[in-house]
Chain A
Amino acid sequence: MHLSLVNLCNWRSYADVKFSFKPPTARRPLVLIGAMNGHGKTSFLIALYLGLFGRFGLRHVEGFGGFTEDDMPHYRAAIARFRRSSATPDEPTSIELVFSPTKDEADSEHEIHVIRRWFFTVDGKPRQGEAFETVELHIDGKPQRLATGLDAAHDRLERILFPAHFMPAFFFDGEQAQRLIMNSGEQGIKRSVEVMFGTKVVDELHDQIKQYLAVAHNRLGGKRNVSNQQRALNQKLDERERLDKDITDLSRQVQILEQKKADLESEQRILRERLARLGGEGRTNLESLHAEVQRAEREKLAAESALTERAKTLGLSLAVSRLAPAITNRLHAEQTRETWEHLREGTRAKSEEVLRVALPEPPETDDLLGHLSDTVRAKVRARFLRALEQIYIPPPKNCAPEYLLGHAKGEMRERLLATLDTVHRQTSSDIRARARRLKLAREEFEDLSGRRARLTNLPQELSELSTKLTDVGAQISEYSRQLGSLEREIISKRASLKDLNADIGRLQEVLAALGPEQKRIAVAERVYRSLDALSQELRPITLRRLQDFVTRHFVAIADKRYRGGEIEFPRGGAPVLKRYGQPDQLIEMMSGFERRSFGVAFSLALAEISKRRIPLVIDTPLGNADTEYRPRLLKAVTAVDLDQIIILTHDAEVTGPLFEQIESQVQQTFLVQYDRNRSESVVTEGAFFNGVGR
């Protein structure tokens, strides 16, 4: 599957643009969209979130993490902010997205075409109620009837593509990849994987078959049946209904408790982190820190004084240095004039010698012009003299018209020029050095003062933290105990249910001989038992596969020292990295790049597990990553078996050798540039940054 069209109208800096993507090939799955910061990369990414899932996509946008889907006023306000400010009121803001099957999947995938529009009043405010937003969904070119409007479109899209809250696994900001884990929560991730892997469908089918059986039994006359077998069956069916209800209630309680426990564990981690930091401070000797603060304060005062003194003593120099360029230019111009005047005077002085060569005297010795009369020779002589004068007229362009600084001539002028140059350079570099010293001194002083203040309040803060941590730990233990008890109860009830199902199956098979409807019920009973077993057994396999895939991608991207490690998603806990002979490491406590590696690895793993071949869209995948991390990440992203990978990048990211590394896989490029005259982002297909790409 690939993204074949993105059409944005009145969307942030985009007035009305179309990104038409060519069908990718196995050898060329990459699309590069180049844009400088602020020219439209993130707007493109946000358009995917909101265009596909509307208000269900907003919380994945940076700054809207706490948004809840029912908060319509905030949603309207957010869309109003994303709307292009110069849009005319009668034009809606709209996002049109088309996902098309690739050549090999024409039979199994559908073309999904979504058009979402938001409407505004004449004074530019979001319209109220249902008039605010519309959505059109076309599948394989056919418009879909959406009985419950936006919500129906949402459910349908979740089914065809992926759950809305899992969107950042496919469309994400490379620098924020780790936020995926924080935002979705461990339980949410596991559930989403079940949806993507299909085990959720198994659960839904389980519920539907249960309903089917209830309807089928009712159709046969329910409990009014006469046969003993039927009566016995009905009793067991009632019993099963009660057991089912108990198990559902218990499972719901487990889910609530698990969520509460996960929240507490997250709080516990934050508290531990704070405590560890304070513990580090606590080991520092308060007296030595105090001395350091005093030293830093002295240094700050000294630096301030040095800067002020220099500024005073260099008052004249500073003034000169500000005028220096003008004075220097003037001196150079006067130097040119002096040179010009010397040359002109020299020529004048030599004019008699030149004339003697041109018109030799007496005339009898002049072979060429000796025959001329004296009057004519005098005229020729005067003409020569005028011609010699013309050699130096006009003066050179950069020549001063007069001497304003005539007191400084020759060598004195040279010395003055050299002095001016030295003063100008030394003054500015000296002032810069002193200002830098002051900045560093101030920073050090503020840092040390802050540490001293924290350390002074440490005993009280430490005690508060310890108490809180103890309370949280006790609550977690209590929740764990309750969870254990609930889970034991569920296991016991499931065992009873299994026996009951076997009894029901046997009775039903006997009854099946009576007629076709009973035969259907017997088969439905067998399906029901199969689904019951499947929903129990597929879940751990799904989780194990997820761990394997995430591990494989993570160790390929992250630092070498993590090779040989394994990622685990422990029940009721956050993801951890396990390594032989090393303590377990919580992913969320690792460095920023390792967390980012995990986020990217998770997306790639999900893409593989789901086998959905959803296009991957990554905004700024490399960001400010170091030179070793960059090629590893790019290799991992481009090596994954996906139909299409769209990379949004700025001019200092996927360029130079990194661009060359992937160039052979690039199918298409776009360059987005913000046109200040038109106040909009303009898209050029086939272009990329100057000197790079095609």
Chain B
Amino acid sequence: MKPPPCFDEPETRRKIEDICAQNSIDVKLLMELCEVIQSYSGSGRKEGVMSDITGCIDTFLDRSSEKR
């Protein structure tokens, strides 16, 4: 799924990167979480959202421990 345009546009992208850096997360995590929200929107079912968010966070934790 395509990320929202604000992730592509240079000015907003820079702002997103700054805020993510200040809070010790990466932009990829935010993009993946946005995709989760988009994929459940309008489907009428929400039961998988929590486990998908956990999945994104776990992937991020793996990613950041790999970097370290």
Contact = CB atoms under 8 A, between A and B. Distances in A.
Interface of A: 108-109, 145-148, 152-159, 196-199, 201-202, 204-205, 208-209, 212, 215, 505, 519-520, 523-524, 526-527, 529-531, 533-534, 537-538, 541-542, 545, 609-612
B44 A520 contact: no
Given A520-B57, A541-B11, A530 B42 contact: no
B23 A537 contact: no
Classify chain B's interface size: 35 or more
A534 B19 contact: yes
Contact of B6 (A205, A208, A542): A542
Given A199-B4, A527-B25, A541-B11, A208 B53 contact: yes
Given A152-B43, A208-B37, A611 B23 contact: no
Given A520-B54, A523-B25, A526-B23, A108 B2 contact: yes
B45 interface: yes
B34 A202 contact: yes
Contact of B42 (A155, A541, A545, A612): A155
A527 B19 contact: no
B34 A205 contact: yes
Interface string B8-47: 1101100110011011110001100110011001111100
B44 A152 contact: yes
A537 B37 CA distance: 20
A611 B1 CA distance: 14
B20 to A, nearest CB: 6
A205 B37 contact: yes
Contacts of A531: 30
Chain A interface, DSSP helix/strand/loop, else mixed: helix
Contact of B38 (A159, A197, A209): A159
B20 A159 contact: no
A524 B8 CA distance: 23
Contacts of B57: 520, 523-524, 527
B9 to A, nearest CB: 7
A305 B4 CA distance: 74
A204 B46 CA distance: 13
A196 B6 CA distance: 9
Given A196-B5, A197-B4, A545-B9, A205 B33 contact: yes
A152 B10 CA distance: 34
Given A147-B43, A156-B43, A527-B33, A537 B61 contact: no
20 contacts: A148-B44, A154-B42, A155-B42, A156-B42, A156-B43, A158-B42, A198-B34, A202-B6, A208-B37, A208-B53, A212-B53, A505-B23, A523-B29, A526-B23, A530-B19, A530-B22, A530-B30, A531-B30, A541-B12, A545-B11
Contacts of A523: 25, 29, 57, 60-61
A534 B6 CA distance: 11
Chain B interface, DSSP helix/strand/loop, else mixed: helix
Given A520-B61, A530-B25, A198 B33 contact: no
Contact of A530 (B11, B23, B54): B23
Nearest to B35: A201
A534 to B, nearest CB: 6
Contacts of B44: 146-148, 152, 155
Given A147-B43, A537-B15, A201 B4 contact: yes
Given A156-B42, A202-B4, A527-B57, 7 more contacts: A197-B5, A197-B12, A198-B34, A201-B37, A215-B50, A523-B29, A527-B25
> Which residue, of B3, B15, B33, B58, has the highest number of chain A Cβ atoms within 10 A?
B33
Contact of A520 (B30, B38, B42, B58): B58
B60 to A, nearest CB: 6
A197 B23 CA distance: 23
Contacts of A611: 5, 8
A342 to B, nearest CB: 92
A526 B25 contact: yes
Contacts of A524: 53, 57
Contact of A538 (B2, B8, B12, B25): B12
B41 A159 contact: yes
Given A212-B53, A530-B30, A533-B19, A201 B38 contact: yes
Nearest to B39: A159
A541 B61 contact: no
B61 A610 contact: no
B6 A530 contact: no
B45 A147 contact: yes
A642 to B, nearest CB: 15
Given A523-B57, A611-B8, A201 B34 contact: yes
Nearest to A148: B44
A147 B46 CA distance: 11
A164 to B, nearest CB: 12
Nearest to A512: B61
Contacts of A196: 5
A198 B23 contact: no
A198 B4 contact: yes
